[in-house]
Structure formats: C-alpha cells, structure tokens
Amino acid sequence: MDKFLRISSSDNQNTRCAKKSFKKNLKTKLKRVKRIKTKQLNAVRHSNFSVSNKFAVFSSEITHFIESNKNILYNTNSFEVVLDDDFSLYENPQKVIFSLLNILNEAKKNSEFISLKYKNKLSFGALYFIDTICWEIAKSKRWELRSNLPERERNLLKNLKSIYSNTSESVFEYIINSKIKINRTHNALAKQIHKEKSKEIRDLVIKGMKDEDSEYIDLSHNEHEAIDSAISEHFDNILLHVPDAEYGFLCGYYDKVRSEITILIYNFGHTIAMTLDRKGLPEHIQVAVNKVVENHKNNYFLFGSSFSRENALTLLAIQEGISSKLDADVSRGHGLIDFITHCKGLNKETRIVIISGKTAIKIDSDYEISERLVFDRKRKILAFNKNNDIFDKPNPDKVVNLSSNFPGVIIETTIPLKIKTKNEASN
C-alpha cells in the first residue's frame, strides 16, 4: 500500500493533498487502535480471574503501608511465617508487622504462596492480619496460604474470611467481623453501625457462655461496659481524629475454651502521634507537648533507638485530658484512658496493645493508672515507669519503638471473662 501512497513527481496538487490527508488519517486511526489494545491488555492483567496474572495490585492503604516502610530489609525466606508464642500483636508487634510486609513483598515478586508453620500457638490478632493481607493479594493475582495448622486452627482460618463482613460459630469460638463505614453526616445523632456490632459481639459472648452448660447467665454491667467501651471509644476517636478514614475494621473473637474475648479494631490514616505533632494545637496542649519533648531531649531519653519523639507523643496522647480538640470542649481527651480503666478494672489479666506508626504500647497488670498532678491539674496517668511519671522514661518493653511502621491505628484488647450464674450476674 505504501507505494500507492508515495507522492511521485507526476502527481498533481490535488493528488498530493489527497495522499497526505489519507496518510494523516491512517496514522491517527492506528494510534487509536493501539491505545484500545493496550487498555484491554491492562484490564486482563488486573482481572481478578486472570490465572496467568503475576502482578499484585494493592489498594491505596496497603500501597501506603508498603511505601511507609521503604527502607526495610526483607527476609530472604519470607515465604514462611512461624507461628509460636512470640508471634502475636501483644507479645511481639514488630515481628507481626514485619511479617505482613514480608508477605506483601513476596507477592510483589513472582511468588504465589505463603506458608504458615505452626509451632505451638496461634494468636488470633496476628492470624487475622495475615488473612486480611492474603485476601488483599488474592484480589489481583493467584495466591495461596499453605499451612500445617492443627484441625482447630485450620477451621478457625477457614471461617475467618477477614475481608468480608461475616459471623461464624464453631465448637471452639465465635467470630464477628465487620468493615464499618464511619457515618460523617453533620447530624451528631446520626446512626453509627459500630453500636449494632457492639451488641452483636456481646450477644455472641453470652451465647458462648451459655454453651458451657451453665444456668442462665448474662454479662455483668461492668463486662457490658468494658466490651462496649473497647469498641465505642475507638470508633469515636476515628470519627473525631481521623477525618480521612472512611472505614474502621472491627473483629470480635470469643474463645469458648479460654472464656476470653478479643476485640480487634484498626483503621488506616493519621497515627495517634500525628494528632499532637501538628500546628494549630490548643495552646495548653502545645505547652504540654513542648514540656514533655524538651524534658526528654534534655535528659537524653530520645538518644538512641529505644525511645523516639513519636513514642513520647503517642504515650502522651493516651493520658487523661490530652486532646488536640480541647479548644472545642475542655472535657475531651478521656476516651483512651477511660477504656483502659474499664478493662483493667474488670479483670487485671486484661491485655491491650495499641500500635500506631512505629509505636506499640502494651498494657497489662504490670503498671497501674494513678492520679498525678501534672499540666496544672490532677489527671489519670499511665506512664509505664516506677514513679508513674510522664516526665520519666517509660519501660521500653511496654512502650516499644518499632522498626516497622503501621500507618494508622491497631488496638487489640483481650479480656478474660468469668462464667457466672444469674445471681452473680445481677450483682
């Protein structure tokens, strides 16, 4: 065809113009066809049902999670995750977060599976996040989660399906899992779905306890308060402090064998420290932040890798009456300390871990909340040191400086419960 479109010396002007115009149109059409073909190819590549797809495509939150850990050194055999006593959000949050990043790194390479090697213990919270990450990967490529889990743990994993809102029951446990949309209409009295989930979780716990062959029982008032507080205070915080978070994720897990409930809530978005590390704070909060940071700098607490500015601000944020929103209402800043008080007051063996950014705070019976005169008034303080002093360095085993970053907040609360009769429950 090219020889017919070539302009020759014998062509008159009209013929030359016609050939030029035809060539130009043909070029435009060929470009358009190429663009369409590329689009179709990309659609096949990203399809959930593409068997040959090797490229993992992640949501913006997971992408941000990976990118906020750019300098990490991945394990060479990161296709295997060992499940033991240490592999839990509470015992070793660094290990769990790092494993999640390793799994995502494997998925970005040509791997098509990850292997769980069960040694002696399976922690629910850690398993939940592994399950979530694997489902995220499987959205865009072939992905398998292999394991040598014992039967009970295998069934737990099978029933988890963390990516979907669902409820599952078995002989050993009850699970409620939900992705909860945060209702951000301007109406303060607007319905919030987490309240329904709070009731569902407590109802499942009651049902689980009834399964233990006891007489009629109910949760005590304090148990209702503690479990509801573990959910409601955090969703209130997401609503108030994380304006970009469209969703919060809630999972309630009742272990019938141990009579223990675990509430796991997480959201992506601002970290806790970020709420205090910004311009425009209420004046007295800025003064408190400056005092703490200056104190820590002058005492060389921030020297080295065991305690950072972010750790200090996260710890400060959980103290009574510390909130970036105090200008709006001076009685704010009690949510986290109130929830911790309820849970510890109910059972000393309660374990709570708060993970945000590169900070993990582990709360158990080792340190107690007490009232201290600080920042011009008496406040409930939990400082994780001998004198419960917010100006002293906290125990690095309790306020942990992580080397991996979680861009958001994870709170895992585990409360042992007691089976009681109706008479005991009414007291």
Binding site for other proteins (CB under 8 A): 187-189, 192, 195-196, 198-199, 202, 219, 221-222, 224-225, 227-229, 232-233, 235-236, 239-240, 321, 329-332, 334-335, 338, 376-378
Nearest 5°: phi and psi at 325?
-110, 20
Answer for the pair 96, 124: CB distance below 8 angstroms, yes or no. no
Answer for the pair 81, 95: CB distance below 8 angstroms, yes or no. no
CA 198 to each of CA 122, 169, 227, 309, 339: distance values in angstroms, whole numbers, following the listed order: 25, 17, 8, 34, 14
C-alpha 235/C-alpha 72 separation (Å) is 31
Residue 191 or 279 having the CB closest to other proteins: 191
Contact residues for 100 (Cβ-Cβ < 8 A; gap 6+): 65, 129, 130, 133
C-alpha 192/C-alpha 183 separation (Å) is 6
Nearest to 220 by CA among 200, 205, 234, 198: 205
Residue 78 or 198 having the CB closest to other proteins: 198
CB of 61 vs other proteins, minimal distance in Å:
25
CB of 382 vs other proteins, minimal distance in Å:
16
Residue 93 or 321 having the CB closest to other proteins: 321
What is the bridge-based pairing of β-strands 80-83 and 144-147?
unpaired
Nearest to 264 by CA among 130, 380, 369: 130
Q: How many CA atoms lie within 13 A of 404 on its CB side?
A: 20
The long-range contacts involving 185-194, CB below 8 angstroms and separated by at least 24 positions, are: 192/235, 192/239, 194/231, 194/232, 194/235, 194/248, 194/250
Residue 151 or 329 having the CB closest to other proteins: 329
Residue 150 or 243 having the CB closest to other proteins: 243
Residue 73 or 188 having the CB closest to other proteins: 188
Segments of 216-342 assigned E as strands: 247-255, 260-268
CB of 325 vs other proteins, minimal distance in Å:
9
CB of 347 vs other proteins, minimal distance in Å:
16
C-alpha 209/C-alpha 227 separation (Å) is 15
C-alpha 365/C-alpha 348 separation (Å) is 6
CB of 377 vs other proteins, minimal distance in Å:
4
C-alpha 129/C-alpha 124 separation (Å) is 9
Residue 327 or 338 having the CB closest to other proteins: 338
Query: Tokens 């997401």 identify what position?
Result: 238
Residue 241 or 362 having the CB closest to other proteins: 241
C-alpha 122/C-alpha 87 separation (Å) is 8
Give the rounded distance of the alpha carbon of 51 from its chain centre.
30
Which amino acid does the sequence have at 356? S
CB of 284 vs other proteins, minimal distance in Å:
11
Residue 206 or 354 having the CB closest to other proteins: 206
Helix (H, G, I), strand (E, B) or coil at 8: coil
CB of 358 vs other proteins, minimal distance in Å:
28
Residue 131 or 320 having the CB closest to other proteins: 320
Residue 229 or 405 having the CB closest to other proteins: 229
